[in-house]
Structure 1
């Protein structure tokens, strides 16, 4: 075995490739958000894109810093919080069919928000998957800590779409929810066991 396993600034080759994929993915999402911002018409969507872009850019810098320096970045990652959390609208109604656009001028706020949602979900999956493969403890923690933030940002994009009827959620009937819940039970306690 060459090198010291205690050298905290060292990275494995597989980890290097994963970090390259993570950082490249972050750059791609950030670049797309810049393009989306230019094309968006709704001021609320523009604010959402700006807010999320600022947050992701800061986390890109922290991720790059942790990998380049091999140590904890100058500050901890922060949690992303949706500023105004509207309720989910359940139910469906007839909607116009979707079709691919033929030229950039046909891009709509619905499309932009949908693309943002897809990118955020993909990045959350990538971060979760690669954090399980990172050997460097600091890089692993920095990357893993961002997964809930990308989930939250994706949820915010979903709420934007849902609030406008662009991402409809059929309601689960109460009887079906109860049937599912009642098909599971707590683990039986052995005789003589106390507490939980």
Structure 2
């Protein structure tokens, strides 16, 4: 079964991205000093390797779709576990000549996952092959979950602060949207 032109190019882009993520994650795991961050990076690295190998296997043998890995799951979280508000955020500026610190490694990991989630979802929209499409969707969900895991670690350690707005302002803004009250929609 041949692949379409769009999906062939999208798979090429995702596989190329995976190679660079695998290389980057390996370097990050080696350079970080934080044990918890290192363990997280190593888990994410293993997931990236499995996803890469699975997609490569499928492009070589359509029967490999039967061996799809599961989506990377997240433990249940409640909104109360997230720390909201700004608490003396540190100034941010480029520092291209310095060695990476754990905060920079965590930020790079977070951005890599966010971008990979977007890239996987965009690629899924171009796939005609249902198995390939599902691999892309699973990749987007996995990267999204891994990004959230990195966010939670950063947030817990004060490295990712969540700006807030006045509670009254937020509620006024969002409460402008009202339920449909299950009114049937009129067809024009």
**TM over 0.5, shorter chain:** yes
Please state how far the C-alpha of 1:22 moved relative to its aligned partner.
0.8
Query: How far apart in 2 are the matches of 1:73 and 1:186?
Result: 41
Q: Which runs of 5+ in 2 are unaligned?
A: none
Alignment of 1:81-160 (within 5 A): 81-82=73-74, 87-104=81-98, 106-160=99-153
Asked if 1:35 is matched to 2:35, the reply is no
Please state how far the C-alpha of 1:71 moved relative to its aligned partner.
4.2
Query: How far apart in 2 are the matches of 1:95 and 1:152?
Result: 25
Q: Which has the larger radius of gyration?
A: 1
Please state how far the C-alpha of 1:189 moved relative to its aligned partner.
4.4
Query: How far apart in 2 are the matches of 1:108 and 1:132?
Result: 37
Alignment of 1:1-196 (within 5 A): 9-82=1-74, 87-104=81-98, 106-190=99-183
Please state how far the C-alpha of 1:108 moved relative to its aligned partner.
0.4
Structure with greater proportional helix content: 2
TM-score, normalising length: structure 1: 0.84
Number of matched pairs: 182
Q: Which runs of 5+ in 1 are unaligned?
A: 1-8, 192-196
Query: How far apart in 1 are the matches of 2:132 and 2:13?
Result: 13
CA contact (8 A) 1:162 1:168 kept: yes
Query: How far apart in 2 are the matches of 1:28 and 1:21?
Result: 11
Structure 2 CA distance for partners of 1:189 and 1:169, relative to 1, 3 Å: closer
Kindly report the root-mean-square deviation, in angstroms, between the aligned alpha carbons of the 2 structures: 2.0
Please state how far the C-alpha of 1:73 moved relative to its aligned partner.
2.4
